[in-house]
A and B are shown apart, each in its own frame.
Chain A
Amino acid sequence: MKWFLLRRLGGALFVLLALSVVVYAAFYVAPGNVAQIACGPRCSPAQVAQVSEQLHLGDPLYTQYWHFLQGLFAGRDYSTGTGVLHCQAPCLGLSYQSDQQVTELILAKLPATASLAVGAFVLWMLLGVGTGLLSVWRRGRLTERVLTWITLAGMATPVFVIGLLLIIVLVTALQILPFPDYVPLTEDPEQWAWNLLLPWISLALVSAAPYARMTRASMMETLAEDHVRTFRAYGVGERALVGRHALRGALAPVIALGALDIGSMFGGAVLTESLFGIPGVGRELVDAVKHVDLPVVVGLVLVTGFFVVLANAVADILQAMADRRVVLA
């Protein structure tokens, strides 16, 4: 287990560093005069040159990257004009656009994204697993066929289509829900939930389908396994068979998938955030990329990557813990 975690950590570090190199290289060749952007459109060439020097934009790529790494592991100092701003490790640098520390900026955006992800996760897990179990319970009957079609429809609908349709129906026509306007949980929990309901539902509807299908398939497979047969042959009732002996094994891959999905969603559900105007990580990424705000992009990619990698590891561990036959080595 210890070795497994260590190796995982090493792998994750590699992936993250590789990601940052890729992004650095891509943006280095990308057009967009960063110094001019940072300085403002009417800056004189001399001023642009000053800004460029201040941001170390004239340095070769590897030097810039080295500074980035230094910041990441040791922290970096920036001049405020009258003094020095120390950006503590892990320092992802300052945004070209707003001079804000990237770490602070991302931390400020994370709660919205996390709210979106966690709520949607809970909803789609309930919906997906519930639907899956229901269709196993009612297998071979009309209910199962109807559920199969509903899940297929869910899989076929992009989140922005479902979201827009829900806006038309729930916001415009029926006026049941407000147009989402993110309110921090700390500010007003009720409004927080009320405003996020629409995005949650949208995400849950499109995301639940694979879970329903997986739950169903996995349950069917597990119910056919030898050990379930054993307990059936010993007079154990169907309910106990499903609840005690099938569900646990069947849900392991479902939960692992859930971990993966929520992990990647922590990196920003770009579409949902854009559609509903939720000020989260995903929207920030779109914005930063459009404005060649390299430190923010790199920071966000690293954070996103971190969550993906973390989710993968968690998924593996969950699966292994659920299934003791798998040895973590």
Chain B
Amino acid sequence: MRQPSVISRRVAAATAVLVVAAGAAACGPKDNKGGDGSSGAAGKPQKGGTLTVLNSKPQEDFDPARLYTSGGGNVPSLVFRTLTTRNREDGAAGAKVVPDLATDLGTPSKNATVWTYTLKDGLKYEDGTAITSADIKYGIERSFAAELSGGAPYLRDWLIGGADYQGPYKDKKGLDSIETPDAKTIVFHLDKPEGEFPFLATQTQTTPVPRAKDNGTKYEEHPISSGPYKVVKNEGDGERLILERNPHWSASTDEERKAYPDRIDVRSGLDSAVINQRLSASQGADAAAVTTDTNLGPAELAKVTGDKKLAARVGTGHFGYTNYIAFNPKVKPFDDPKVRQAISYAVDRSSVVNAAGGSSLAEPATTFLPDQAAFGHTPYDHFPAGKNGNATKAKELLKEAGHPKGLTVTLTHSNDKDFATSPEIATALQEALKKAGITVKLQGLESNDYSDTVYNLKSEPGFFLGGWGADWPSGGPFFAPIFDGRQIVKSGYNFNSGQLNDAAVNKEIDEINKLTDLDAAAKRWGALDKKVGEQALTVPLFHPVYKRLYGESVKNVVISDWTGVLDISQVAVK
């Protein structure tokens, strides 16, 4: 078994929520950002040719209702247009939200509880019929059906009546909080202010679905395209997906997707080692190949680093993701902030970074929010541990906390070899804490068991490894689920592991959500993160960095900070 890719089906998603469908991100190498914003083979990108996508995870559930994407995903975004979408540009510029089907980012009501969108003119499906706002409403309603579960929770949480709605199959009447006064206008009524609604509108659930063509769970076999490509072949539940140009798509209505290749051949179910081997060999069709879901592992990176030619074909991406230690303050001795602080001081981030694949694949983190302006990153290091941990300070704190002889604690982690919550990271921490007099016992759980255990209030351990990724590049979906007291889930998956229910924090979250000025909001998220960080409810460890190989003739490589991965809507192979 090769090193598993970061993604392993829906299941692993609990920890890597967004990585799942978006495919992890890769923005242009940081040191390389100033240039023309794109890299890849030289020459002006031209239309034509076949782009091969080599993936490990099949595009199963290729249904806009079921996909859980960040910004509409990579392959899905070729077929599904959404109300808004991500800005297809390199680096930080790519973390912005831009209109897609809609003419703008939406018009909020004064308190940001009502959002109104108007569709562009001349929008058509692959069969030439016009796209209407009713189809978008229907598409959203479908995502409430139990048969088509899988998407993000926000629509359910935000739309009035969303929590009880069962989808159009059981509830023919539809969802009243979405109005379509005419074929071009769609209005959303939210039960609380949400300034980040334009971000949510990038998700595939806002893709139009013609009711007449809906055939339930079978829709995924041939979803009706609104984007530049349509599905001509879908074998083995998304293992082989062939996309060809959608003649009814018009570049004039779509500023974002370049759609250079004529044909896109997505082959999945491949072993990650095979993918990287093929990309590095870059033979035949593989010269025009990319991957949207497979990173270079440490061993492969080590090999690539030694080869200049190969190294030139590596894209580096950053994606809003943080790996951290989570505490459950309801469990002794983690109820004592001093103990949590002691551990914060004791961690050896260079060992942890090494265990995560080395400094090229992980950057040490001291803040919970990812190191990106879009998230409002505000630097802080409340419990400076230095490179290798501050055992002395940790011991002092432990003494103060009444543990002069040290402590024995159990660290829960996953048994997956994912370089994130894996045994290697846990062992690195075990070693570091040993120096501070803390004996760590390891409790490794199989991945399902792990998710069920740590994200469940009833079984949540006191001390475990977690990770959190952004549904979109903003503090809202990154910060709130972890620290909003009202998002503590009693039954079902709970991500507020620190079980923080602080009125002040909750209030500030509400205040920020009211802001429709996203830059202003970002600053306040950053300040809030710094504030909450003082409580030492988590110990941020590192932010992963994604390295991806691509084929020799791949041109116009654009890697945004939103997805961190080269955007195949921009790639050219001619």
Q: Mark A40-68, 1 if CB is under 8 A from B, else 0.
A: 11111111101101100000000000000
Task: Tell me if A80 and B166 are in contact (CB < 8 A).
Answer: no
Contact A277 B146 (CB under 8 A): no
Task: Known contacts A99-B217, A181-B278; decide if A38 and B446 are in contact (CB<8 Å).
Answer: no
- A291 pairs with B11, CB closer than 8 A: yes
A284 to B156, CA, bound (A): 34
- Total residues of chain B contacting the partner, CB 8 A: 60
Residues facing B in A12-62 (CB within 8 A) are 31-33, 36-48, 50-51, 53-54
Nearest CB of B to A231, in Å: 53
Question: Chain B's nearest CB lies how many Å from the CB of A94?
Answer: 9
Which of A81-89, A128-136, A233-241, A304-312 is near enough to bind chain B?
A81-89
Contact B452 A179 (CB under 8 A): no
Q: How far is the CB of B197 from chain A (nearest CB, A)?
A: 18
C-alpha gap A279/B272 in the complex (Å): 12
Which residues of B, 440-454, contact A by the 8 Å Cβ criterion?
Answer: 446-449, 451-453
Of B35-43, B75-83, B318-326, B488-496, which binds chain A? B488-496
Whether A295 is near chain B, meaning CB under 8 Å from some CB there, is no
Q: Is the Cβ of B492 less than 8 Å from the Cβ of A45?
A: yes
B392 an interface residue at 8 Å Cβ cutoff?
no
- Residues of B within 8 Å of A51, CB to CB, are 146, 149
User: B384: CB under 8 A from chain A?
Assistant: no
Chain A contacts with B in 175-195, Cβ cutoff 8 A: 178-181
- The answer to whether B447 touches A83, judged by C-beta atoms less than 8 angstroms apart, is no
Q: Which residues of the partner chain B approach A44 to less than 8 Å between Cβ atoms?
A: 153, 156-157, 163, 492
The answer to whether A279 and B149 touch across the interface, beta carbons within 8 angstroms, is no
- At the interface, yes or no: B337 with Cβ under 8 Å from chain A? no
Taking the nearest CB of chain A, how far is it from the CB of B294, in angstroms? 12
Against B, the Cβ 8 Å flags (1 = close, 0 = not) of A186-208 are: 00000000000000000000000
B492 touches A80 (CB 8 A): no
Question: In the assembly, what is the distance between CA of A119 and CA of B411, in Å?
Answer: 47
Chain A nearest CB: distance from B215 CB in Å? 5
**Among the listed A53, A80, A98, which residue makes an inter-chain contact with B61, where contact means beta carbons less than 8 Å apart?**
A98
Cβ of B270 within 8 Å of any chain A Cβ, yes or no, is yes
Known contacts A32-B449, A85-B217, A99-B217; is A277 also within 8 Å of B153 by CB? no
Complexed CA–CA distance, A206 and B492 (Å): 48
Complexed CA–CA distance, A47 and B152 (Å): 12
| Beta-carbon contact of A42 and B153 below 8 Å | yes
Among A105, A276, A291: residue with most chain B CB under 10 A: A291
The size class of the interface chain A forms with chain B is 35 or more
Q: Which of A43, A54, A81, A85 contacts B153 (CB 8 A)?
A: A43
> Which secondary structure dominates chain B's binding surface?
loop
Q: Is B10 an interface residue (CB 8 A)?
A: yes
B151 an interface residue at 8 Å Cβ cutoff? yes
The answer to whether A81 and B147 touch (CB under 8 A), given A274-B1, A277-B273, A291-B9, is yes
Q: How far is it, in angstroms, between the C-alpha of A38 and the C-alpha of B61 when the chains are bound?
A: 12
- Interface check B68, CB cutoff 8 A: yes
Q: Mark B492-512, 1 if CB is under 8 A from A, else 0.
A: 110000000000000000000
Assess whether A292 is interfacial by the CB under 8 Å rule: yes
- Chain A residues closer than 8 Å to B60, beta-carbon distance: 97-98, 100
Known: A41-B493, A100-B60, A181-B274. A50 touches B150 (CB 8 A): no
Q: Kindly state the separation between the CA atoms of A33 and B454 in the bound complex, as whole angstroms.
A: 12
Q: Interface centre among B151, B273, B281, B490, by most A CB within 10 Å?
A: B273
Given contacts A36-B452, A41-B455, contact A97 B146 (CB under 8 A): no
Cβ contact within 8 Å between B277 and A179:
yes
Which residues in A have their C-beta under 8 angstroms from that of B269?
Answer: 279
Residue A286 at the chain B interface, CB threshold 8 Å: yes
Residue A98 contacts which of B14, B17, B152, B237 (CB distance < 8 angstroms)? B237
**A-chain residues with CB within 8 Å of residue B151 when the two chains form the complex:** 40
Complex interface: chain A residues within 8 A of B152 (CB)? 42
Closest A residue to B58 using CB positions: A98
Contact call B218/A41, Cβ cutoff below 8 A: no
Task: Write the chain A residue with the least CB distance to B168.
Answer: A81
Instruction: Report chain B residues within 8 Å CB of A98.
Output: 58, 60-61, 237
Digit string of A261-287 for contact with B (CB within 8 Å is 1, else 0)?
000000000000011110100000011
CB of B336, distance to nearest CB on chain A (Å): 30
The residue in chain A whose Cβ has the minimal distance to the Cβ of B491 is A45
Chain A nearest CB, measured from B22 CB (Å)? 14
- The CA of A62 and the CA of B18, in the complex, are separated in Å by 37
Asked if A79 is at the interface of the complex by the 8 Å CB criterion, the answer is yes
CB contacts (< 8 Å) of B278 on chain A: these are: 179, 181
- Judged by a CB distance under 8 angstroms, whether A2 is at the interface is no
With A82-B169, A277-B271: A47-B218 Cβ-Cβ less than 8 Å: no
B481 (CB) vs chain A CBs: closest residue? A42
Q: Which residues of A contact B17 (CB under 8 A)?
A: 41-42
Cα–Cα, bound, A31→B9 (Å): 18
Q: List 26 A-B contacts (CB under 8 A).
A: A31-B449, A32-B446, A33-B452, A39-B149, A41-B10, A41-B13, A41-B14, A44-B492, A46-B163, A46-B164, A47-B149, A51-B146, A80-B147, A80-B218, A81-B148, A81-B169, A81-B214, A83-B216, A97-B9, A97-B10, A97-B60, A99-B217, A99-B237, A181-B270, A274-B1, A291-B9
7 nearest A-B pairs in the assembled complex, by CB-CB distance: A277-B271, A81-B216, A80-B216, A32-B448, A50-B146, A41-B14, A82-B216
By a beta-carbon cutoff of 8 Å, the part of chain B in contact with chain A is 1-2, 8-11, 13-14, 17, 58, 60-61, 68, 142, 145-153, 156-157, 163-164, 166-167, 169, 214-218, 236-237, 239, 269-274, 277-278, 281, 446-449, 451-453, 455, 489-493
